[in-house]
Amino acid sequence: MEWGRFVQRLVFTMPVHELGHAVTAWLCGFGAMPTVWVTLTSDERGLIAPLAVLAALAWMIYRGWQLESRALLAAGGMVLLLQAVMTLGISEDTATALIIFGGDGMGLVLAILLMGSFFFGKGTQLYKGSLRWGFVAIGAGAFVDINATWWLARRDPSEIPFTTRENGMESDALRLVSNYGWTEAALVNRHILACLACMAVLMLVYVWGVRKAWMKTQALESR
């Protein structure tokens, strides 16, 4: 069982977790590079990361306007607003703590985006090919693993991942408690809240996808 969970974490969770750190850093205005088991993050905010994110979001909004896609326009606008708050509205110290939390916190968001992509992009290679099935597998594997970690920690505080590697690098949980003053209860509750919020969003996407498929089937049968 432990070996199976290690493989699951290595193949599915680790890439999503490290990308979660990086995406949070980019939204906060920090440069970041996700690698195996660690994300390299700049010590302070810069110009390249926020401008790159701004350019990507501007392109996303422009494509939404071209395609007359309200969903794409809304998504681009919301992420743009989020970037403005995270880059301009919070201190670097708070942003650093948020980046650490983002490994699992933003990782959960990325996991449901991967799973939710199953219902979107019809007519694209993502939908026609097998890529969306791979995204579902990666997202589901990461989502289940991250959820399991914090639900176990909720029942038993000894399950909180307070670890230190041989090179002296502390785990995210240990850094948040030791360096940023988070209590164990706050640490667990914030991760659980993120888990519940993501599960609620995923359920809404699933219901929407099933309803859309049902309506299409009904329309075909009525012809």
Query: What is the pLDDT, as a whole number, of residue 49?
Result: 93
Q: List pLDDT tens digits, range 163-214.
A: 887 777 899 999 999 999 999 999 999 999 999 999 999 999 889 888 887 8
In the numeric block, which tokens belong to residue 157?
């505080």
- C-alpha closest to that of 115 among 206, 13, 177: 206
Q: Long-range CB contacts (< 8 A, 24+ apart) of 2-11?
A: 5/145, 8/141, 8/144, 8/145, 9/145, 11/141
- Rounded CA-CA distance 48/10 in Å is 30
Query: pTM for the complete prediction?
Result: 0.91
Q: What's the chain's average pLDDT? A: 90
The residues pairing with 32 across neighbouring beta strands, listed in sequence order, are: 41
Distances (CA, A) of 115 to 3, 45, 104, 165, 199: 25, 31, 16, 31, 11
Percent of the chain topping pLDDT 70: 95
Rounded Cα distance between 62 and 72, Å, is 9
Question: Cα–Cα distance between 207 and 218 in angstroms, integer?
Answer: 16
What are the DSSP E strand ranges found in the chain? 32-34, 39-41
Structure tokens at 87: 């880059």
Give the C-alpha separation, 140 to 154, whole Å: 21
Pairing between β-strand 39-41 and β-strand 32-34 as defined by DSSP bridges? antiparallel
Q: Band of the pLDDT at 91, cuts 50, 70, 90?
A: very high
